[in-house]
Chains A and B, each alone.
Chain A
Amino acid sequence: MNLLEKLDAAAAARKALLPDGVGAFGIPIEEVYSATEARIGDRRVLLLGTNNYLGLTFAPECIRAAHEAIDKEGTGTTGSRMANGSYFGHRALEREFADFYQCSSSIVFTTGYQANLGTISGLVGPGDTVLIDGDSHASIYDGCILSGADIIRFKHNDMADMEKRLRRLGDRVETTLIIAEGIYSMLGDQAPLAEIVKLKNTYGGTLLLDEAHSLGVLGETGQGLVEKTGLLQEVDFITGTFSKSLCSIGGYCVSNHPQLEQLRYVSHPYIFTASPSPATIASTRAALELLRKGSHLRKQLWRNCTQLYAQLKEAGYTLGPDPGPVIAAMLDTPQQALLLWQNLLEHNIYVNLILPPAAPEGKSLVRCSVNAAHTTEQIQYVGDTFAKLHSLVCE
């Protein structure tokens, strides 16, 4: 089979799951009306499949900051952070992230994906080990692969399995990076951080926590799981993204280890790419300020999460273990998930469809992402529609 035939085979496998005309992946959004509504085809739909957790995509402060940055500094930096791409805003945002996490060092990356790629591949290399949760995001897997380190997985959130693997490492634990996530993107559940920290302190190792989905969502000021659990000082490196609660694109890593600064000289995903545009940086800085003051947004978000989780549970869907902004209905077959996804769209609700092998344990997921801008009525309508479709899909 040549290279192109391999792609044809992959396309055939995709078509077997998704018949022609079903555009579940990369669906064209024609117009965006607000943080909660858009047009798909000729439908005005409710957006329940975005990562806009605090609902800040149209925040006037962020839009104004982005406009001003374009006027003052142009549309792009056209260069790497290593060369001409470190403007005042990039450096200011790094200081603001360090201040937010009370850390000494912070690095801004061009995407959240690159934040994990760049941090992991900068910290570990061939001969080292990464110990990662089996449900880790692709950016973590890819960062580990890029590093050349040995990749060992523990069963998702299974602390007995993690301990077993730490024990087996023996002296190698000294050069081991343990990686977990604040909120996991597939089922929306949280890492048992207190237990992870306890194991790390017993066996050794360095701990990286990815707060991509938990930034802005967990903790009084929105730092994430580290704040909710009071374990900020126990985590060595924190990564995250701007493309969820901060409503732009980019990523960060913060740490109290001064060695983080060295990543600027060894991390290819940091060096060999253009830096974020001035508008991106400006809107992110404005959003970070709103996030820090946004306890009212978090309260509204959690009201919405709790309401929808309860409605879906009541309707009989199998969900992840924790209520949160990511609420995934687990279906046994891709056909069931596709049927639910299509029917939700016909009821003017857009959610995410996740099919094997992307979903854990061979399941298929219809995943909702709730945000603070959803009204109680919108959430009620989504919950009612899921309930109405349960018998069609699951019986």
Chain B
Amino acid sequence: MTESNYDEIMTLLCDRLSSLTNSNVQITSETNLISQLSIDSIKLLNLIMEIEDTFDVSIPINALTDIQTVRELADLVHKIKSAS
């Protein structure tokens, strides 16, 4: 997995989060999914399914419990993709 792949993951996440939340918050790698974007569990799981299909990976739902920020989510996807 290359740096450009990581950037691709980050870009996709920011785009999708922006359209999911319809908020005016500028989404960056440090944006908090819960406290700043108020992403509920159903929205998050739908987003995860989309990411899984885009990158052809499966993300264990118990790995999501530690995820707070966009960067942490991108790191997780990157780690799983790199191992696959």
Contact = CB atoms under 8 A, between A and B. Distances in A.
Interface of A: 129, 144-145, 150-153, 155, 164-165, 168-170, 356-357, 362
B27 interface: no
Interface stretch (B1-9, B10-18, B59-67, B71-79): B59-67
B41 A357 contact: yes
B84 interface: yes
A152 B60 contact: yes
Contact of B58 (A144, A155, A165): A165
A168 B56 contact: yes
Given A168-B58, A357-B41, 18 more contacts: A129-B60, A144-B62, A145-B62, A150-B60, A151-B60, A151-B61, A152-B59, A152-B60, A152-B61, A153-B45, A164-B53, A168-B56, A169-B58, A170-B84, A356-B42, A357-B40, A357-B42, A362-B42
A357 B41 CA distance: 9
Contacts of B41: 357
Contacts of A155: 49
Contacts of A362: 42
Contacts of A169: 58
Given A155-B49, A168-B57, A150 B42 contact: no
Contacts of A168: 56-58, 84
B42 A152 contact: no
Contacts, number: 29
Interface of B: 40-42, 45, 49, 53, 56-63, 84
A362 B43 CA distance: 10
A170 B45 CA distance: 23
B56 A150 contact: no
Nearest to A356: B42
A150 B57 contact: no
A133 to B, nearest CB: 13
Contacts of B45: 153
Nearest to A145: B62
Contacts of B63: 150
Contacts of A144: 62
A151 B63 CA distance: 8
B52 to A, nearest CB: 8
A131 to B, nearest CB: 9
Nearest to B64: A151
B49 A152 contact: no
Contacts of A151: 60-62
A144 B62 CA distance: 9
25 contacts: A129-B60, A144-B62, A145-B62, A150-B60, A150-B62, A150-B63, A151-B60, A151-B61, A151-B62, A152-B59, A152-B60, A153-B61, A155-B49, A164-B53, A165-B58, A168-B56, A168-B57, A168-B58, A168-B84, A169-B58, A356-B42, A357-B40, A357-B41, A357-B42, A362-B42
A82 B75 CA distance: 44
